[in-house]
Structure 1
């Protein structure tokens, strides 16, 4: 398998000075989840976002999906502000979120129904995307008849079928076993190459980030900010990419960026616990 780095296209998604605060019950002020996050995603690019636990990765995805509004800054898709959910963005979550009473094909047809596409055309499109994700012949199966990996394939097909401008993926393979996860990583790269979709992929796995991304953005511990952006210049040839010297070098670079943030987050957590214990003892 060979994956060359694509030339950068025009800016598809622009995140400028974005912050997100949440009120804290009984606290002296709000909790800052994100602060001054700025990032650009170009057309056809595969960007991976990593960060320590609690760094605001999923909060940022909620903002991009229009499921929440930023406290400051702005998010533009094709130059237009994101003000709520829309069919210009497809979202794939860690949990598959398939409707259990609908078949795999009918789940894929959901976004097509929202677009007002006629039944016969919906079925043809759904079958096309079932084939794309390697599930041709499984269209009449219900979610309880599918494995975890197959359910996630259906979720990916559902998000691609209505042709969104950007595909947002929130740790979609985290709940799967290692073998299935690696298989779906390869499948996702194949789908990305064949569709040319713009993808923002969130993960806590460094190996996954290096393997999938053209570029990896590293978030700091809370409040999340962009600490660094690392270009993944691997030319993937053969089946042993993860053992290459290039892969190990990039993995170590991102690990080093993250390790200091994890250490800082743990230190802040110990201080918070100590402060709480002291207050309780007074």
Structure 2
């Protein structure tokens, strides 16, 4: 794969933020990364390495201070409907039902109410929420809220789905369930997915490739190809020798980038974490 035929291409990308009192904070430096059409790429790295910043640059929520980000060969200069972002926080409108939350992003496209409703119902069914269309956010569990957020992101049919630790705030059982649901949705829709996580197990289970970033400033240390074969609900892939081998490889790369007091924490499943660039942005 080359930058010319990649769905997403980052070439020499760097990002700095001004710091109070002068100077700059370097979040990313020299990022070269290509993502193929329909690929599921997972990005892992130590806290503060710029994972969320990387997603912001692809989404057009921020501009690089060096290098170029392109989608289908066209430079990214801002947000666009060909990309959708799912954050850890669900950001649902509490006064709207699940159906109306999914419809929200379609209203700006000028679609008629009936067409919006049909599209929203289809995507709620896609994420396993058929029958919950009239529930308000406070009537839904955390996992259900995140399903609504995913349905809302998919409803306007983006080519790229960007996910910033979307399952980190959920309990382990719900997180495992939604990982399986996400893989099913990805297989059904063929979207190109870039997924940020702190969890090594989550990275290996979801990713076709796992990009490991260095400690700050973030650079691509290595990209690990993951081959677990076809997903079979009757088989526990997380207990397979192949899973253990891939997990060990990713952990070996990541371990050297972590402070000693974070090494043990990184071996545990993903947990809620503050947005890593908040300090840099003041």
Match of 1:67 among 43, 46, 61: 61
- 1:142 shift after superposition: 0.9
**Within the alignment, does 1:86 sit opposite 2:80 as a pair?**
yes
Which structure 1 segments of 5+ residues have no match? 1-8, 267-282
Q: 2:82 and 2:11 mapped to 1: Cα distance? A: 19
Q: 1:214 and 1:80 mapped to 2: Cα distance? A: 24
- 1:264 shift after superposition: 8.2
- 1:137 shift after superposition: 1.1
**Within the alignment, does 1:217 sit opposite 2:211 as a pair?**
yes
Change (3 A) 1:134 1:171: same
Q: What's the TM-score, normalizing by structure 2?
A: 0.88
For these two proteins, the number of residue pairs brought into alignment is 257
Change (3 A) 1:73 1:264: farther
Q: Does structure 2 conserve the Cα–Cα contact (< 8 Å) formed by 1:221 and 1:265?
A: no
- 1:263 shift after superposition: 3.3
Change (3 A) 1:95 1:165: same
**Within the alignment, does 1:175 sit opposite 2:169 as a pair?**
yes
Q: Does structure 2 conserve the Cα–Cα contact (< 8 Å) formed by 1:222 and 1:265?
A: no
Q: How do 1:203-242 and structure 2 match up within 5 A? A: 203-235=197-229, 236-237=231-232, 238-242=234-238
* Aligned equivalent of 1:5: none
Q: 2:219 and 2:207 mapped to 1: Cα distance? A: 19
- 1:26 shift after superposition: 2.1
Q: How do 1:3-14 and structure 2 match up within 5 A? A: 10-14=5-9
- 1:265 shift after superposition: 10
* RMSD of aligned Cα (Å): 1.5
Q: 1:125 and 1:61 mapped to 2: Cα distance? A: 27
**Runs in 1 of length 4+ with deviation above 4 angstroms?**
none
* Aligned equivalent of 2:16: 21
- 1:68-94 per-residue CA deviation (whole Å, 9 max, x = no partner) reads 111111100111111111111010000
Which structure 2 segments of 5+ residues have no match? 263-282
- 1:243-271 per-residue CA deviation (whole Å, 9 max, x = no partner) reads 111000100000010000003898xxxxx
* Aligned equivalent of 1:255: 251
